[in-house]
Homo-oligomer: A and B are copies of this chain.
Amino acid sequence: MPHIAVVPGSFDPITIGHYDIIKRALPLFDEVIIAIGTNSQKKYLFSLEDRLSMIEKVFADEPKVKTDTYKGLTVNYCKSIGAKYLLRGIRSVGDFEYERTISQLNNSLSPELETVFFICQPQYSHVSSTIVREIMLGKADASKLLPPGLEGLTV
């Protein structure tokens, strides 16, 4: 049975932090699905289409990386596609406590679903989509926080 990992998120936009975690984890899995959870009540800076096409551009040369979108609970999406793993990065103590809660919840809702964690490299530990958006909205250059191929992205 192939090892499928889901990387759930908003990716508004994908950052060099996301990119680095996925590249490092890729050899462990047969397929990594970057899955954008859609939530009609949240507001995003980039449209769903733009967010998907950015990810596809960044991973154009990685045949094991796929993209998808889903509604509702992440555990239900994973079940529906037969994925047994979630993949998540941790930057900080705050992240760790959040991820512990969510992985414990997911495991209680779907006991066969495991979450695999990588710790963020130190040079990217300040990177988040939120900070990328603030820099862009402040009309400054966010290139250093973006994955290869997206440098120069603006709003």
Contact = CB atoms under 8 A, between A and B. Distances in A.
Interface stretch (A6-14, A51-59, A88-96, A147-155): A88-96
Given A76-B140, A117-B117, A119-B103, A108 B126 contact: yes
A151 B62 CA distance: 39
B126 A99 contact: no
A38 interface: no
A78 to B, nearest CB: 13
Name the prevailing secondary structure of the A interface residues: helix
B96 A24 contact: no
A103 B118 CA distance: 10
A63 interface: no
Given A27-B3, A28-B28, A144-B108, A73 B118 contact: no
Contacts of A119: 99-100, 103-104, 115, 117
